[in-house]
């Protein structure tokens, strides 16, 4: 599709500095800009690229003041990053939405399918499944018995949804995700072997949740594993049995949450955070990358480090750790001096 700078600015409520009639047919990163494309500048550390980019137009924050001449046309908006997100929404909405049932696929006669639904080839929809309106189920998906998928949800290719799963409205589940598989429950026997504890609960995912590719959410042993409204989960995340994740919490790649732990609302878990089982992480908590959470975390805390130490304390510890060789040498020198003083 093609738009003029004038049309883009009008849609975003932005101000044009340059040629209003330039035609834009794609987007590009500012450092890889090409004629006919739109780029954006939100992070000041990329400012140098705006003076040499080949992009026809660049979205910038309204308070941006160039220090050199710029060849590209500027579209000034209150927030360039949010404006780009609006444009991406517009682009996605302009893509025709698939509808209908592709063959071959299997849909049980007892399944209830809403209007304007798309089911891709080689998908399987089991007995008692309820699919809402405008749902998209891409090829090679497996939807287990008595599951529910509400309106406007998108299930991408290869997703496996185990029986009795509940997925709300406006959710997105990316390729390869597995929802509702057994939790990791085994009882060790007297002879050292392990007996499987059957998991008879389910998974409940509320509205506006996004789940990344190849992430897994285990069903509860009893009751439900619950992902509340607005949660955003990156690729390769593991949510164990009976976990509850609060509204609007975000989890980056390779986060792992062990069984029966609770994560509060509006939390931010960076890459490779690990949360041990049966813990409570409060609301508005931030865990920096590779944090190991081994005890409860109260509301509003920022924790970091393998043992999830309070951030300010961890920084002091880390400063000492970096200087350990010098400190070790100084301590040895002091020990020698003290020994000599005692000898005298």
pLDDT of residue 309: 80
327, 319 Cβ separation under 8 angstroms: no
Q: What is the pLDDT of residue 310?
A: 85
Would you say 243 and 257 are in contact if contact means Cβ atoms under 8 Å apart? yes
201 in Cβ contact with 225 (< 8 Å)? yes
Residue-wise burial string across 218-231, b where 16 or more C-beta atoms lie within 10 A, e elsewhere: bbbbeebbbbbbbb
Query: How many CB atoms are closer than 10 A to CB 70?
Result: 17
Question: Which residues does the chain have with pLDDT short of 50?
Answer: none
Per-residue model confidence (pLDDT) at position 201: 97
Cis omega (within 30 of 0) for bond into 104? yes
Choosing among 3.40.50.80, 3.40.50.1100, 3.40.1390.10, 2.40.50.100, the CATH entry for 3-94 is 3.40.1390.10
- Radius of gyration (C-alpha) of the chain in whole angstroms: 27
Using the 8-state DSSP alphabet, how is residue 297 labeled? B
Q: Tens of pLDDT along 191-210? A: 999 999 999 999 999 999 99
Q: What is the pLDDT of residue 156?
A: 98
Beta bridge partners of 244: 226, 262
Kindly report the pTM of this predicted structure.
Answer: 0.84
Tokens representing 117 are 């639904």
Q: Which two tokens stand for residue 74?
A: 């500027």
Structure tokens at 317: 């510890």
**Whether residue 241 lies in the annotated active site:** yes
The predicted pLDDT at position 123 comes to 98
Q: Which of 184, 134, 140 is nearest to 154 (CA)?
A: 134
Q: pLDDT digit string (tens) for 48-67?
A: 999 999 999 999 999 999 98
**Residue 26 φ then ψ, to 5°:** -165, 175
In this prediction, residue 37 carries a pLDDT of 94
Q: Helix (H, G, I), strand (E, B), or coil: what is residue 81? A: helix
SS3 state of residue 320: helix
pLDDT value at residue 311: 86
Predicted local distance difference test score (pLDDT) of residue 89: 86
Which pLDDT score is estimated for 208? 98
What's 100-262's CATH class? mainly beta
Backbone dihedral region of 125: left (phi > 0), alpha (psi from -120 to 50 degrees) or beta? beta
Q: Which of the following is catalytic: 138, 174, 228, 241?
A: 241
């Amino acid at each position: 599709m093609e738009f003029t700078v004038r049309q883009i600015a009008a849609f975003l409520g932005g101000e044009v500095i340059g040629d209003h009639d330039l035609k834009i047919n794609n987007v590009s990163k500012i450092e890889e800009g090409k004629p006919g494309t739109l780029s954006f500048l939100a992070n000041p550390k990329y400012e140098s690229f705006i003076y040499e980019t080949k992009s026809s137009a660049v979205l910038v924050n309204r308070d941006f003041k160039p220090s050199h001449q710029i060849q590209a046309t500027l579209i000034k908006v209150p927030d360039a990053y949010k404006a780009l997100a609006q444009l991406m929404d517009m682009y996605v909405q302009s893509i025709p939405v698939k509808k209908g049932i592709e063959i071959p696929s299997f849909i049980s006669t007892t399944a209830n399918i809403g209007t304007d639904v798309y089911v891709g080839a080689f998908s399987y929809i089991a007995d008692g499944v309820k699919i809402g309106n405008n749902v998209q189920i891409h090829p090679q998906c497996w939807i287990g018995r008595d599951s529910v998928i509400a309106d406007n949800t998108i299930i991408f290719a290869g997703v496996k949804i185990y029986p009795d799963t509940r997925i709300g409205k406006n959710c997105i589940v990316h390729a390869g995700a597995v929802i509702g598989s057994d939790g990791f429950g085994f009882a060790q026997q007297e002879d050292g072997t392990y007996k499987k504890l059957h998991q008879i609960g389910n998974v409940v995912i509320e509205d506006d949740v996004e789940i990344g590719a190849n992430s897994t959410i285990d069903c509860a042993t009893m009751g439900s594993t619950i992902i509340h409204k607005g949660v955003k989960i990156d690729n390769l995340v593991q949510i164990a049995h009976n976990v509850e994740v609060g509204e609007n919490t975000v989890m980056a790649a390779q986060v792992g949450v062990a069984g029966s732990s609770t994560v509060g609302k509006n939390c931010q878990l960076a890459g490779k955070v690990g949360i041990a089982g049966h813990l409570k992480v409060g609301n508005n908590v931030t865990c920096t990358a590779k944090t190991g959470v081994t005890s409860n975390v109260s509301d509003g805390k920022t924790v970091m480090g393998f043992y999830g130490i309070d951030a300010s304390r961890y920084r002091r510890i880390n400063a000492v750790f970096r200087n350990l060789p010098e400190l070790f040498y100084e301590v040895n020198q002091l020990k020698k001096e003290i020994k000599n003083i005692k000898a005298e």
